Structure 1
């Protein structure tokens, strides 16, 4: 049998919806859902290793290049069955547990961007390469961890159970990006590694549709990526400004620096110029003065490419204690007895007990 024929036999087995596929899907779905509910990344990673969904995807990529529509349909049907099982399972678990607020592990899967699509393309390429190179089989475990198919579906079911529709849409978009990224990466890699399949990629309508759908995902994912970049820039600017305020309070305004402590800094980017709100804990209620705040603002604007306006909120520190001393002077012994004198007094038989 030719290498292509052997590859076809292996991919036919990968496309089957047999008992191991269903059992592993149930196990991966249950573990991933429980891991998301417990907000445990380690448990979610375990579910990624168990999930068998990479197999039908790999089979679909090969079948598309071969033009075997029956095998494509079988592989996609197997994948749809796995997705349906996982959604129902996560929905039931989420409804039965009834957590009012889902953790960060779920939230992390509701805002996909271009980086997620890039990871999926590379992972799909490695998975396809492992199917034609026995030396790369060991990379499949890392590929399963790098791109997650089951956790976004479980997050989708949990968000549906909590009636969080917009977040559920984000989880569905992440799954679509991973799915199409893996499929497109696998198609391109197989076309490169198997010369006899190279021309079939451009002749196959399903292959072109897959690549087209992956390209269309660039539109919503680009918006999320630009938002992520904007948040990163704002966080970097906030860190720089907080450092500049701290240095200015301690070094440039001598009367304020020794009696103050920076508590919090927030920036209102909606205003023009951006408004910095700094909370300062002070022991002197007359500080900071308007002149000192103006000096700090001038120092910040010297360090930054854009101008800011600064407002300082004063948080006074009041020291409160009891009005009377715990030990009046007449009760404090001026010349305490030594241990030898105390033992002598206690051993005196004529000593009278106190009233």
Structure 2
């Protein structure tokens, strides 16, 4: 046990508590340079989200000073320093409001209002975001209490991702999308809360001296408040994680259904649209040339249940009255793409055919006219001439028959002059090359 205690001992390499407190307090305030740095970091993150650049977003997270007041709040709770807690709360409020204003203004004047993948990733927090925020907060709190800070702090800033959710919330405000704002701000709240809780636990574990000692009533009250907040924050994220899992399972089941029912039968799908948010859910399909009867459509609808696709309506667009302009445009685009592919395939097939004899009786004629040939390969190859131009050469690789005479294996002779003359006449090519394969 002593070995494991030493192995996981956080007191080794610990910074003096007075120095840790001084560093935490110095990073709480958002005035002057800190506020300018925050505004610039928010602007960089907003641009990164707008152009869907992961590298730019990571850079903004490394610049951001937002971790300071969050860690300070966790420290203040652990030491019962409510004056410090008020300061950190005020600083975090100012930082949040400034961040929302800067991101709102940017996205409001930006001509690009499309929600890119980096933006969408911050609108539906799950239990995994809770775990990342908590573990990242633990690492950050441990690093802050070390003499050697090391590399974890930049990693924590990237992993816990405080900036992108705030910018996404600003995007939601600028575009009037309330669900984007609520989802992103909820993710930001999760990160703030669990970084603070992780700091609280580490400071407690390292036994920093509380400002108010011996007040058991206050300790119990604080414990109940923190437990209630943890449950309040975690519950929605658990629900979101469950819905995300169910959505992924639905899309996987739909892919299996389409493969089994259509692709394995050789039907070409030229339009596909899945709507998971409606009730019932819908799966819309259109095909290149396949038309289904009413009985087939009923069977296909029933077969959805075999793939655990429930509460879903299958819609196959095959009548002109069922096809909207949007669907027609998509179908025509796909048809055009398919037509181009067909042309390329046909061209390549014709080119391939030109490299082999088209006469189905060719092999029989060779065996009849030249019985001493056991096996052969015949075709055309591209060769590079001395003038750096490609030329086609007709070649025949042949293997003569062998027989045993008085215990010795003798190779039968092939009249190559006659063979070459015959091939030249048959294929109108005087440069036929014969290659002996022993």
Deviation at 1:138, TM superposition (A): 0.9
TM-score by length of 1: 0.71
**Secondary structure of the structure 1 residue equivalent to 2:125:** coil
Match of 1:236 in 2: 252
> What is the distance in 2 between the residues matched to 1:200 and 1:33?
46
The alpha-carbon distance between structure 1 residues 15 and 101, as it changes in their structure 2 partners (threshold 3 A), is same
Deviation at 1:264, TM superposition (A): 4.3
Match of 2:232 in 1: 216
Match of 2:100 in 1: 87
Give the number of the structure whose residues are more often strand, by fraction.
Answer: 2
Larger radius of gyration: 2
Q: Provide, for residues 106-132 of structure 1, a one-character-per-residue CA deviation record: whole Å limited to 9, x for no partner.
A: 332222222222211111111111112
**Secondary structure of the structure 1 residue equivalent to 2:287:** strand
The alpha-carbon distance between structure 1 residues 278 and 66, as it changes in their structure 2 partners (threshold 3 A), is same
> What is the distance in 2 between the residues matched to 1:200 and 1:152?
38
Which residues of structure 1 form unaligned runs of 5+?
A: 250-256, 320-355
Deviation at 1:88, TM superposition (A): 1.7
Match of 1:341 in 2: none
The alpha-carbon distance between structure 1 residues 240 and 59, as it changes in their structure 2 partners (threshold 3 A), is same
- What are the equivalent positions in structure 2 for 1:265-344 lying under 5 Å apart? 265=272, 277-282=284-289, 304=307, 313-314=317-318
Preserved CA contact (<8 Å) 1:155 1:168:
yes
The structure whose RCO (Cα within 8 Å, separation 6+) is larger is 1
> What is the distance in 2 between the residues matched to 1:63 and 1:310?
57
Q: Does 1:11 align with 2:24?
A: yes
Q: Provide, for residues 152-176 of structure 1, a one-character-per-residue CA deviation record: whole Å limited to 9, x for no partner.
A: 2222222212222332122221111
Q: Provide, for residues 32-51 of structure 1, a one-character-per-residue CA deviation record: whole Å limited to 9, x for no partner.
A: 12222223222111111111
Preserved CA contact (<8 Å) 2:172 2:180:
yes
Match of 1:105 in 2: 118
- What are the equivalent positions in structure 2 for 1:249-264 lying under 5 Å apart? 249=265, 257=266, 260-264=267-271
Which residues of structure 2 form unaligned runs of 5+?
A: 1-14, 319-330, 340-438
The alpha-carbon distance between structure 1 residues 297 and 147, as it changes in their structure 2 partners (threshold 3 A), is same
Deviation at 1:204, TM superposition (A): 7.0
**Secondary structure of the structure 2 residue equivalent to 1:217:** helix
How well do the aligned residues superpose, as a CA RMSD in angstroms?
A: 3.7
The alpha-carbon distance between structure 1 residues 58 and 271, as it changes in their structure 2 partners (threshold 3 A), is closer
> What is the distance in 2 between the residues matched to 1:75 and 1:102?
33
The alpha-carbon distance between structure 1 residues 37 and 227, as it changes in their structure 2 partners (threshold 3 A), is same
Match of 1:40 in 2: 53
**Secondary structure of the structure 1 residue equivalent to 2:156:** helix
> What is the distance in 2 between the residues matched to 1:312 and 1:17?
58
Match of 2:158 in 1: 145
Deviation at 1:225, TM superposition (A): 1.8
The alpha-carbon distance between structure 1 residues 142 and 204, as it changes in their structure 2 partners (threshold 3 A), is farther
Match of 2:183 in 1: 170
Match of 2:241 in 1: 225
The alpha-carbon distance between structure 1 residues 4 and 159, as it changes in their structure 2 partners (threshold 3 A), is same
Pick one of 143, 146, 149 that aligns with 1:130.
Answer: 143
Tell me the number of residue pairs that the alignment of Structure 1 and Structure 2 aligns.
Answer: 304
**Secondary structure of the structure 2 residue equivalent to 1:52:** coil
Preserved CA contact (<8 Å) 1:29 1:89:
yes
Q: Provide, for residues 273-308 of structure 1, a one-character-per-residue CA deviation record: whole Å limited to 9, x for no partner.
A: x876543323xx7x656777788789x679635789
Match of 2:192 in 1: 179
> What is the distance in 2 between the residues matched to 1:170 and 1:91?
16
TM-score by length of 2: 0.59
> What is the distance in 1 between the residues matched to 2:192 and 2:314?
48
Deviation at 1:183, TM superposition (A): 0.8
Match of 1:52 in 2: 65
> What is the distance in 1 between the residues matched to 2:172 and 2:150?
35
Preserved CA contact (<8 Å) 1:30 1:90:
yes
> What is the distance in 2 between the residues matched to 1:78 and 1:268?
43
The alpha-carbon distance between structure 1 residues 281 and 17, as it changes in their structure 2 partners (threshold 3 A), is closer
